[in-house]
Amino acid sequence: MENLFIADEKDVREGCTMDIYFERTKKILEASGLAETRVCAEITGSSLPRGWKWGVFCGLEEVIRLMEGLPVSISAVPEGTVFRTRTADSVRIPLMNIFGAYTDFGIMETAILGMLCQPSGIATAAARTKLAAKEKTVLAFGNRRMHPAIAGVLDRSSFIGGCDAVSSKIGGDIIGQEPVGTVPHTLMLLMGSNDAAFKAFDRVIEKEVPRIMLIDTFSDERAAALEACRSVKDLKGVRLDTPGSRRGNFKELINEIRWELDMNGHNDVDIIVSGGLDESSIAEIVNTSVSGFGVGTSISNAPTLDLSMDIVEKDGQPISKRGKFGGRKFTYRCPHCFEMGASLRRDDLIKCKCGCEMAMIETEVLRNGVRIGKERTPIEIREFVLEQLKNFIE
């Protein structure tokens, strides 16, 4: 049996996934007697996709795990930080600084950036989706749109960004929560009817699993919603995954189902909707009687944040390529409006344009290969993100 086209952890740690020029750079530096040259390399972003004004920094924990044991030190803004990419003076904000000999971490540059760029894009999309959904539930359903090798990364990033639950077993294990989901339309098709499928689910599946029935396989959603109420005693909710060609006015369809449920005494049955949703389409229906949203592709296929790693200091002296600001910088942020600041000084006094004093927000997370501080759980990071979003000014 042939192997799948995926890299395992050993491949990543041994540099098999790197761009080959980093290996060549290491060979040249070693041959030139420069292997021990100490540098500071910063990770920054120049801009954000889709006109986004802010991003959510995600993936730091995996980078720490990758770099533990290597003779390098890392300072970074906390994972889950809501950030802007530049200061008012166009200085790129360092999200992470790596200190050590470049030959000790350079072959990991590809992996480090990949562990930050994609998760941060997913977390940002999830946060924007959660904002659009207001206080309503958002479920991450996007694994089927991406390669299965990164299912855990997708679910963790989606959860940290604000999704309330994830759908895969590996994702649930990583975030410490039970995965959620209903059934595919396949069950109704193979069972032959809604009623048979609904009753089979209720009979076979553990009672602690919420009874949420998919109601748009065969018949009118309003009739199928009432059928689900008759078939399942402790019905928690119904889910509409109605394709666009059958929706008509989706907002009115949702409200019509709610009316029918309430009129027949099923006020406690929730309505969950899914199928091609994103932050814009959610904003259009969030003020209906819908209780939650299942969101897939728009989060899992979120645009990757274009972060880069650049040397800004060599042997303690500022240096940089053209277009970058040299020198090791400390990252500041306004606690009120989230404007960003960067300074060459650790204890600088930076005034925001709103009048508030900025606070330095980076911390040391790795010192000579040893973790500093306690690992934060995905739940703690998610709560940090949601707390910031409460007061965030676009």
The CATH number linked to 337 is: 3.20.140.10
DSSP string, 79-133: TT-EE-SB-TT-PBPPSEEEEEEHHHHGGGHHHHHHHHHHHHHHHHHHHHHHHHT
Find all residues with CB under 8 Å of 143, minimum gap 6, and list them: 151, 154, 155, 167, 168, 171, 300
pLDDT at 142: 92
Q: Could you list the pLDDT tens digit for every one of the 394 residues in the chain?
A: 998 999 999 999 999 999 998 999 999 999 999 999 999 999 999 899 999 999 999 999 999 999 999 999 999 999 999 999 999 999 999 999 999 999 999 999 999 999 999 999 999 999 999 999 999 999 999 998 999 999 999 999 999 999 999 999 999 999 999 999 888 899 999 999 999 999 999 999 999 999 999 998 888 899 999 999 999 999 999 999 866 656 668 889 899 999 999 999 999 999 999 988 999 999 999 999 999 999 999 999 999 999 999 999 999 999 999 989 999 999 999 998 899 999 999 999 999 999 999 999 999 999 999 999 999 999 999 999 999 998 764 5
pLDDT at 110: 96
Tell me whether residue 148 is in a domain. no
Provide the domain limits for residue 284.
Answer: 181-288
Q: Is 222 left (phi over 0), alpha (psi -120 to 50) or beta?
A: alpha
CA 261 to CA 40: how far, in whole Å?
62
Tell me whether residue 365 is in a domain. yes
pLDDT at 298: 96
Tell me whether residue 347 is in a domain. yes
Tell me whether residue 131 is in a domain. no
pLDDT at 139: 96
Quick count: other Cβ atoms within 10 Å of Cβ 122? 34
Q: How many domains does the chain have?
A: 2
Q: Are strands 340-343 and 330-333 parallel, antiparallel or unpaired?
A: antiparallel
DSSP string, 182-250: ---HHHHHHHSSHHHHHHHHHHHS-TTS-EEEE--SSS-HHHHHHHHHHH-TTEEEEEE---HHHHSSH
Max intra-chain CA distance, the chain? 81
pLDDT at 334: 94
pLDDT at 243: 62
The CATH number of the domain where 279 resides is what?
3.20.20.70
CA separation (Å) from 225 to 108, 269, 304?
Answer: 52, 9, 39
pLDDT at 250: 84
Same domain, 13 and 116: yes
pTM for the full predicted model? 0.94
Same domain, 262 and 358: no
The half-sphere exposure of 262 on its side-chain side, counting CA atoms within 13 A, is 8
* N-terminal to C-terminal alpha carbon distance within the chain: 52
Tell me whether residue 164 is in a domain. no
* Residue 273 β-bridge partners: 240, 293
Same domain, 91 and 34: yes
Tell me whether residue 13 is in a domain. yes
Same domain, 205 and 270: yes
Last residue of a domain, one of 222, 254, 288: 288
Same domain, 195 and 275: yes
Tell me whether residue 227 is in a domain. yes
CA 115 to CA 132: how far, in whole Å?
26
What's the gap between Cα 21 and its chain centre? 29
Backbone angles phi, psi at 376, to 5 degrees: -90, 140
pLDDT at 239: 94
The answer to whether the CB of 96 falls within 8 A of the CB of 115 is no
- Which DSSP letter does residue 77 get? P
* Residue 82 β-bridge partners: 56
Q: What is the CA radius of gyration of the chain?
A: 24
Same domain, 316 and 263: no
- Which DSSP letter does residue 351 get? B
Tell me whether residue 63 is in a domain. yes
Same domain, 251 and 321: no
pLDDT at 219: 82
Closest CA to 103 of 38, 43, 9, 40: 38
Same domain, 264 and 334: no
- The DSSP element (H or E) to which 156 belongs, if any, is helix 151-161
Last residue of a domain, one of 288, 303, 337: 288
CA 231 to CA 226: how far, in whole Å?
9
Same domain, 282 and 317: no
- The DSSP element (H or E) to which 31 belongs, if any, is helix 20-31
Last residue of a domain, one of 273, 288, 303: 288
Same domain, 267 and 370: no
